Structures are given as C-alpha cells and as structure tokens.
Structure 1
Amino acid sequence: MTDYASDLASHALATSIATFRSQKSLGDRALAQLDDAAVGWTPEPENNSVAVIVKHVSGNMISRWTDFLTSDGEKPWRERDGEFVDDVGSLERLKELWELGWSALFGALEALRPDDLLRTVYIRGQAHTALEAINRQISHYGYHVGQIVYVAKAYKSAGWNTLSIAKGQSRSFNEEMKRS
C-alpha cells in the first residue's frame, strides 16, 4: 500500500471509530435521562421500546463484530427475532446490553489495521470490503440511535434535556463556535 493509500485508510478507520463514538455518546446521553419505567414504554402500540431497539442493536453488534474479518457477520447463533421481544425489564440490564454491543464493536475496530479495510468480509453470505461493512453499520446504528433518542424524548416530554442545540439557540451557538 502506498503512503497516501495507507494514510487515507488510517484516516477512514479513525473517522469511522470517531463516528461510532459519537453515536454511542448520543445514545448514552439519551439513556441517562431514562428510568426503569421508560425501558419498555412505546409512544404507540406498534412502535419499538428503547429496550427492543437496544436489544436489536446489541445483538447486531455482537454478531457483526465478533470475528469480523474471519466469519460471516450474521452468526448462526444470533436470535434476531428474539431481539424484538421486550423482556429487558430494567434500565440496568438495558445499559449492560448496550455496553456489550459497543464493546464488541470497538474491540473489533480498534484491532483493525489500515490494510484490513479492503479485505473481504461477509454479511448474510454477501461479500463486502471491510470498509463497506463498517459504513453499512455506521448507517444502521445511526438510524437506531436516532430512534432511541426519539422514544426517550417522547417519554420524557417537557422533562427532556436536549442533546444538541436547544430550540431558539442556533444563532448564539453559531456565534460561540466562531469565537472558539
């Protein structure tokens, strides 16, 4: 690999890790605002609770990132349908599942070398470069973290502490960013 290609691959890997860390932080801050009663709450009967979303994301992460470079990302032992059964029960257990998934992800990503990004990995028998698989998961987890934030915000309603720029504060936030 040329120096430029190696630098680019290193940057892509570092950027991916940073993006995942940002997604995790957003989810962490949403979960921190919840209590046990919020775990199984849904805004509508057909919606998923935070518990179900976290179970699914964690199950996906553990499956996808275990033996990332050497086995299909859809492990035969994964029980995807069971991820959609709301049986978590407590915020403590929810956070344990959340951390297990992220631990699998970061353990795998932090072990990768720039040369690994063009290796072939499989998800449900379909070939991807490792970089494609990483980007696929960035999109997937971003979608679900957004759902977690939405459900948590709906549950907390007026008690929600914003995770980004508060309504009506964009102008002052932008001015502050220019000063720093």
Structure 2
Amino acid sequence: METRELYLSSVIKQMHYYKTVGEKAMDQLEPEQLFIVTNDDSNSISSIVKHLCGNMLSRWTNFLTSDGEKEWRERDAEFETSITSKEDVLALWDKGWDCFFQAIESLNPEDLSKIIYIRNEGQTAIDAINRQVAHYPYHIGQIVFYAKQLKNSDWESLSIPKNKSNK
C-alpha cells in the first residue's frame, strides 16, 4: 500500500476511534445532562455536537469542489440551544460523521495534493484533513471532560482507569 493510501486509512481508523470515544462518553449521561451549561462562556455537550455537525457538513460536502465554509452554514447558531432530546443530539452526531466518512472514503490518494479552499484560503486537501483531524478530537475531548465532570464518581473510564496502569 502506498503512503497516501496508508494516510487515508489511518485517518479513517483514528476518526472512527474518536467517534466511538464521544459516543461512549455521551452514553454514560442522562439525557438532560447533554444540555447542561455551567456558565455563560461554556457550551453544553449538545451545542458541541451541533457545532461538530455543522462543521462536518460544511467542510465535507463537495470537499474537493466547493469552499469548505458553505454560505448556508450558520456557525453562531450552532452554539444556541435549539435541540431538546438525546435522540436529536445523536441524529446530528451521526449526520455529521456520515458526511465526514463518506467524503474521506471517496478520496483517492492523488486527491491529497489537490488545492481546496476554506474561507477562500487555498490549502492542500491533506492540510485540510489534518486541520479537522486536530479539530474534531479537541471537541471530543471537551465532551469527555464535561461528561466525566457531570458523572462525577459514577464515571466509567474510557481507557485505563486512574491508578490501574500496573494491573
């Protein structure tokens, strides 16, 4: 397998991992906990999911042929509370990830060197992918941290539990 194919395979594998981590964190919460906001400068988990979905739809719809910041995207609205059920949160989660994976899985290795645009700024497709490979886990880390805080002592670790590394 050539290096570019390995890269795309690695991106897909890593992003499936992070998607699963986010899902496992949200699965531990009561539905109402997805909507908790601790202060005016924070976002609820539902808002983070809404933002991820908006970003994914904007960036990955027609990835190679249109600007990644679509005219129809309303980024500021992604941080407003407008969804009210866990089912709606998970539907947005899946919608965004489906768009992402369909776009990534449709790429050919030679597409990685093509110039694409985000906010009229040209960059290679591989740079645009790397940008999102950093962006999405950042927000998933927020989801995990927030979920862990909300669950407190009822949290089930998503990796090696604290003080269990040597067991």
The answer for unaligned runs of 5 or more in structure 1 is 1-5, 173-180
CA-to-aligned-CA distance 1:73-131 (integer Å, 9 cap, x gap): 00000000100102211111100000000000000000001111111111111111111
Which of 31, 34, 38 pairs up with 1:39? 34
Q: By how many angstroms is 1:35 displaced?
A: 2.0
TM-score, scaled to structure 1:
0.90
Q: Distance in 1 between matches of 2:106 and 2:30?
A: 35
Which is further off, 149-158 or 38-47? Answer: 38-47
**Aligned letter for 2:112?**
L
Q: How many residues align?
A: 167
Counting aligned pairs with the same residue, the percent is 45
1:99 to 94, 102, 107: 94
Counterpart of 2:132 (choices 132, 137, 159) is: 137
RMSD after superposition: 1.1
> Which 4+ stretches in 1 moved above 3 angstroms?
none
Q: Which has the larger radius of gyration?
A: 1
AA aligned opposite 1:151? Y
Q: Is the 8 A contact 2:26 2:34 kept in 1?
A: no
Query: What is the SS of the residue equivalent to 2:135?
Result: helix
Take 1:111 and 1:8, find their aligned partners in 2: how far apart are those partners? 17
Of the three residues 20, 25, 47, the one matched with 1:25 is 20
* 1:53 counterpart residue number: 48
Moved more, 32-41 or 114-123: 32-41
Which sections of structure 2, spanning at least 5 residues, go unmatched?
A: none
Give the TM-score, by structure 2 length: 0.97
Partner of 1:114: 109
